[in-house]
Amino acid sequence: MLLHAVFARATANFFGNTGPTGQRAMAAMAEKYGARVSDGLAPEVAAASVAQGSAVADHILAWSQGDGGAVVENMGFPLAFTPDTRPGHWKPTSTIAQQQAPLLPGWGSNRPFAMPAADACGLPPPPAYSEEKGSQFYAEAFETYEAVRNLTPEQTAIARFWSDDPMLSTTPPGHWMQIALALLEDEDAPAARRAEVMARLGITVADAFIACWQAKYEYDLIRPVTYIKKVIDKNWEPLLITPPFPEYPSGHSTQSGAAATVLTAIWGPDFAFADGSHEDDGLPERAFPSFWAAADEAGISRLYGGIHFRAAIEQGLEQGRCVGAYAVALKMGAQA
Amino acid sequence: MRAVAVVAFLAGPAVAADMPPVPSFTEETASAGIDSTYTGEWEYMVGGGAAAFDCSGDGFPDLFLAAGEGKSGLWRNASARGGALRFEKVESGLELDHVTGAYPVDIDSDGIMDLVVLRVGENLVMKGEGQCRFTPANTAWGFDGGDAWSTAFAATWEKGDAWPTLAVGNYIDRTQDAFPWGSCTPNWLHRPNAEDNGFAPPVALKPSYCALSMLFTDWNLSGTPSLRVSNDREYYKGGQEQMWKVLPGQPPALYTKVEGWKYLRIWGMGIASADVTGDGYPDYFLTSMADNKLQTLAPPLKEGKPVPGFADVAFARGVTAHRPYAGGDVRPSTAWHAQFEDVNNDGLADLFVAKGNVSNMPDFAANDPNNLLLQDAEGKFHEVGDKAGVASMAVSRGGALTDFNLDGLVDLVVVNRHSPAQIWRNTTTGAGHWLELKPSQAGANPDAVGGWIEVRTGDRVQRRELTVGGGHASGMTGWWHAGLGAADSADVRVIWPDGQAGDWQPVAADGFYRLERSKAAQDWTP
């Protein structure tokens, strides 16, 4: 009952801005599960449990209000933004009016959970911007260009599988949470283990976004679609929708590196699993020999999709490894 | 005097060269005699339609308004030509509850308009009996009204059929209160029965993705319209926007990526169509939350024929309408009904968009004014909703733009959720010349649904597809309006639904003409 009270409070907080259907669903779920967990409980025990659960939730939520990310307005897009017009800097890539400004440019200033600071997992700079054919930057852009032009069916399937578009899917962190939830369900894990796994994972994906966004706006790098159309082939189109924010590092790579680090610490380095997160969307299950194999595939999927250069993927995965280690080091449960 | 005023208006130095003349609308809600509110909670967060059509036979468009949980009703148009808007509520048989929207279409081709009423529950086909009386015809016509949350509609006459094909779009499974996501219920295609004197049992259009607007439209000028469906991404899993091939005698089939269909997921809520680009093909405005879309056929053609892929040109043409432009609320907008009409008679289709929060969603604008976007000569649109007087902050849903007082200027009615419907008279002075045209043909499909009207002035031809469907839960039929700008005459013709082109006929501007098949255009006076 205590846990139920926590979840009811937290759900209402996190999804409070949802529409009438979500409000109705949250009320129906709270009522349905509340009835189930209170069945057979003495009324005074139920009431005390709800009170304590609500107090715990309120305490944590109050703490969260000061982390810098409690309020997101205009779907995360600043109402006004002036792009850096120098060569190599990010420029809007979409014809959506709202996305003429990049998503959440201040997210890298948020208070992290386990990392000591947003730049605790800093990155080397990306290859120096250049439009010269012999340059490393051109070579990486050409690699992305050629990859998209010559995609195999398997590479296309990989790009689609890890696309995880915001507002059209559970998103990259949500994808990893789906993986963890499925594994916990498979082993019929007790509540304490579920709580620990989801806490470590939740903490690390939150930190991963902070670290990644700090770096994205530090380097403010141009997206492949902008560069390739200007320098290589004006008719080229990426496979995936280019996300509306700077390129370096790859967010999905940082996310996946962090998640793989945490899940490897929990289930081991050679834990094979199958991921059916997108079966509802008609994308078949994919099997992986380890969490890092999945993370590597998530990373390279962004090159196949034409939305990242290789450096952003490789450095993003390494950044994620660094971020994940902080969540792994947290003392929880019996360790605490 | 009128001609002089027109020239002065169109060439006046007070208006910037690229800014179209701004029309003037006067709200006459209080005096027009209309009193209808779209009510109800969750099951009525969408819908809220209007149907504008002549049920009395006097040529003036009458008005049916959906009232959700309340009683919907019919108002007979009692306006004088060119005068203030005035309506009288009449007992019609349309005093129905649980109504989300309605579309007029002469189903039995008897020359009297019928009405398809979409509902939360059983949909109804209401047979027009004349003098604005209607009787339920589900049983007589074999129409299975089902039991769903119906939110979209379109109709066409398939080649060779005397009876129309009706498409009904359905929304969420309303029994799934705790987790309705992924519960989109099937849309239905009601085709004629074997005897072609009623409807066969409906065919489920699977997959269905919570349709909020549908339109039969001949997107590639093949002579056979396809069914565009705009879907609400909030609730589907694995869904996207859709277009169905509906070929006579064959099961409906979706256009695929291999054929050129481009994957698009939006909170699709309404479809408006017009040939905005002037290439002869219809373009489509799709309403959503935040950015809206204006789709035009994407090149290249394949073997000289268009492929079913569309490019979004909303940003380039200034019709994203993603955020309120007045009132100070800068959160993203929520758009519903959309309709192209030439509101200033300059010869260019303008765009109206109804706006309103779904239901107190704090991430989206609460003060969300309706849009009126004027098209200029270069195909760009300019927001003038506030200047024109239609920037209502009510929570709007459906609506209709039509000439209620038959003065050649397009008026506006908008249905609001939890507040009264509003009506505006277009009181623009010195607007351009105009025509209002009504094609008709003997036998089935008397209103030539699926045909085209063409209006030629000089070397420019305006084309208008005659459709039933689109918008948001709102339909209209009757006089089809065209602005002519400074031209005081035009040539007009009809491309009939069977593809036969009528002869070009010269007509004088500022008049009403019946375009009966194989006959000369007939001047009509209210």
Task: Name the closest residue on chain B to residue A240, using Cα atoms.
Answer: B263
Instruction: Please give the residue that has the higher pLDDT: either A167 or B56.
Output: B56
Give the span between the Cα atoms of B102 and B107, in whole angstroms: 14
A168 with A104, same domain?
yes
Give the span between the Cα atoms of B180 and A252, in whole angstroms: 29
- B323 interfaces chain A, CB cutoff of 8 Å: yes
The pLDDT tens digits of the residues spanning B453-480 come to: 999 999 999 999 999 999 999 999 999 9
**What average pLDDT does range A250-257 have in this prediction?**
98
* Other residues' Cβ atoms within 10 Å of the Cβ of residue B34: 22
Q: With cut-offs at 50, 70 and 90, classify the pLDDT of residue B18.
A: confident
The pLDDT tens digits of the residues spanning A171-191 come to: 999 999 999 999 999 999 999
In the predicted model, is pLDDT for residue A335 greater than 80?
A: no
Give the span between the Cα atoms of B177 and A193, in whole angstroms: 30
The pLDDT tens digits of the residues spanning A86-103 come to: 999 999 999 999 999 999
A173 lies in a domain?
yes
In this predicted structure, what is the pLDDT of residue B389? 98
A239 with A331, same domain?
yes
How close does chain A come to B358, measured CA to CA in Å? 7
Cβ–Cβ < 8 Å for B238, B249 = no
Please give the DSSP secondary-structure letter assigned to residue A133: T
In the predicted model, is pLDDT for residue B78 greater than 70?
A: yes
A145 lies in a domain?
yes
Nearest to A17 among B233, B320, B362 (CB): B362
Q: What percent of chain B has pLDDT over 90?
A: 93
Q: Give chain B's end-to-end CA distance (angstroms, integer).
A: 22
Give the span between the Cα atoms of B140 and A16, in whole angstroms: 48
The pLDDT tens digits of the residues spanning B158-209 come to: 999 999 999 999 999 999 888 899 999 999 999 999 999 999 999 999 999 9
Nearest to A28 among B177, B181, B361 (CB): B177
A146 with A13, same domain?
no
Instruction: Please give the residue that has the higher pLDDT: either A336 or A25.
Output: A25
In the predicted model, is pLDDT for residue A304 greater than 60?
A: yes
In the predicted model, is pLDDT for residue A273 greater than 80?
A: yes
Q: Which residues make Cβ contacts (< 8 Å) with residue A182, sequence separation at least 6?
A: A273, A275, A276, A277
Q: Which residue has the tokens 């199958």?
A: A274
A36-50, A291-305, B468-482, B483-497, range with the lowest pLDDT = A36-50
- B359 interfaces chain A, CB cutoff of 8 Å: yes
Give the span between the Cα atoms of A265 and A203, in whole angstroms: 14
Q: Give chain A's end-to-end CA distance (angstroms, integer).
A: 24
Closest CA to B166 of B446, B449, B497: B449
Q: Quick check: B323 and A98 CB within 8 A?
A: yes
How many C-alpha atoms does A197 have within 13 Å on its Cβ side? 22
In this predicted structure, what is the pLDDT of residue A336? 64
The pLDDT tens digits of the residues spanning B91-149 come to: 999 999 999 999 999 999 999 999 999 999 999 999 999 999 999 999 999 999 999 99
Give the span between the Cα atoms of A130 and B321, in whole angstroms: 37
* Other residues' Cβ atoms within 10 Å of the Cβ of residue A54: 15
How close does chain B come to A166, measured CA to CA in Å? 12
A25 with A140, same domain?
no
Looking at A64, A90, A107, the residue that finishes a domain is A64
Q: Quick check: A25 and B179 CB within 8 A?
A: yes
Total CB pairs under 8 A between chain A and B: 74
- What ipTM describes this predicted complex? 0.88
- A282 interfaces chain B, CB cutoff of 8 Å: yes
- A150 interfaces chain B, CB cutoff of 8 Å: no
How close does chain A come to B279, measured CA to CA in Å? 22
Residues 228-287 of B with CB under 8 A from A: 233-235, 237-238, 265
- A279 interfaces chain B, CB cutoff of 8 Å: no
Please give the DSSP secondary-structure letter assigned to residue A117: S
- A20 interfaces chain B, CB cutoff of 8 Å: yes
A298 lies in a domain?
yes
Q: Which residues make Cβ contacts (< 8 Å) with residue A134, sequence separation at least 6?
A: none
| Buried b / exposed e along B353-387 (16+ C-beta atoms within 10 A) | bbbbbbbebebbbbbbbbbbbbbbeeeebbbbbeb
Q: What percent of chain A has pLDDT over 90?
A: 89
Best mutation site among B258, B265, B319 for testing chain A: the one with the most A CBs within 10 Å?
Answer: B265
A32 with A119, same domain?
no
> With the C-alpha atoms ordered B86, B90, B92, B98, is the resulting torsion angle positive or negative?
positive
- B121 interfaces chain A, CB cutoff of 8 Å: no
The pLDDT tens digits of the residues spanning A231-247 come to: 999 999 999 999 999 99
The dihedral region occupied by A143, where left means phi > 0, alpha psi between -120 and 50, and beta the remainder, is alpha
State how far the alpha carbon of B155 is from the alpha carbons of B142, B158, B188, B280, in Å: 16, 9, 12, 22
In the predicted model, is pLDDT for residue B5 greater than 90?
A: no
Give the span between the Cα atoms of B264 and B311, in whole angstroms: 10
A2 with A97, same domain?
no
Q: Quick check: B177 and A24 CB within 8 A?
A: yes
Residues 155-194 of A with CB under 8 A from B: 167-168
A70 lies in a domain?
no
> How many domains, in total, are found in chain A?
2
Within 8 A of A96 by CB-CB distance, chain B residues are 290-291, 315, 320, 322
The pLDDT tens digits of the residues spanning B259-304 come to: 999 989 999 999 999 999 999 999 999 999 999 999 999 876 777 7
Nearest to A97 among B237, B322, B358 (CB): B322
A59 with A82, same domain?
no
In this predicted structure, what is the pLDDT of residue B299? 75
- A21 interfaces chain B, CB cutoff of 8 Å: yes
What is the domain-level CATH number for residue A84? 1.10.606.20
In the predicted model, is pLDDT for residue B517 greater than 90?
A: yes
A282 with A167, same domain?
yes
The pLDDT tens digits of the residues spanning A120-139 come to: 999 999 999 999 999 999 99
Phi, psi of B245 (to 5 degrees): -80, 125
Q: With cut-offs at 50, 70 and 90, classify the pLDDT of residue B13.
A: very low
Within 8 A of B361 by CB-CB distance, chain A residues are 17-19
In this predicted structure, what is the pLDDT of residue B179? 87
| Buried b / exposed e along A94-109 (16+ C-beta atoms within 10 A) | bbbbbbbbbbbbebbe
A136 with A224, same domain?
yes
**What average pLDDT does range A289-301 have in this prediction?**
98
A113 with A28, same domain?
no
Give the span between the Cα atoms of B266 and B288, in whole angstroms: 6
Looking at A31, A64, A97, the residue that finishes a domain is A64
A209 with A305, same domain?
yes
Average pLDDT, whole number, for chain A?
95
A69 lies in a domain?
no
Looking at A64, A94, A110, the residue that finishes a domain is A64
Cβ–Cβ < 8 Å for A331, A266 = no
Q: Which residues make Cβ contacts (< 8 Å) with residue A152, sequence separation at least 6?
A: none
- A74 interfaces chain B, CB cutoff of 8 Å: yes
Q: Quick check: A280 and B178 CB within 8 A?
A: no
Cβ–Cβ < 8 Å for B129, B135 = yes
How close does chain B come to A182, measured CA to CA in Å? 19
- A70 interfaces chain B, CB cutoff of 8 Å: no
Provide the residue range defining the domain that includes A150.
77-335
Question: Tokens standing for A67?
Answer: 């982390």
Closest CA to B406 of B435, B431, B385: B435
Please give the DSSP secondary-structure letter assigned to residue A241: P
Best mutation site among A13, A14, A21 for testing chain B: the one with the most B CBs within 10 Å?
Answer: A21
Task: Name the closest residue on chain B to residue A74, using Cα atoms.
Answer: B331
A35 with A160, same domain?
no
pTM value is 0.93
- A18 interfaces chain B, CB cutoff of 8 Å: yes
A255 lies in a domain?
yes
A72 lies in a domain?
no
- Helix %, strand %, coil % of chain B (to 5): 5, 40, 55
In this predicted structure, what is the pLDDT of residue B382? 97
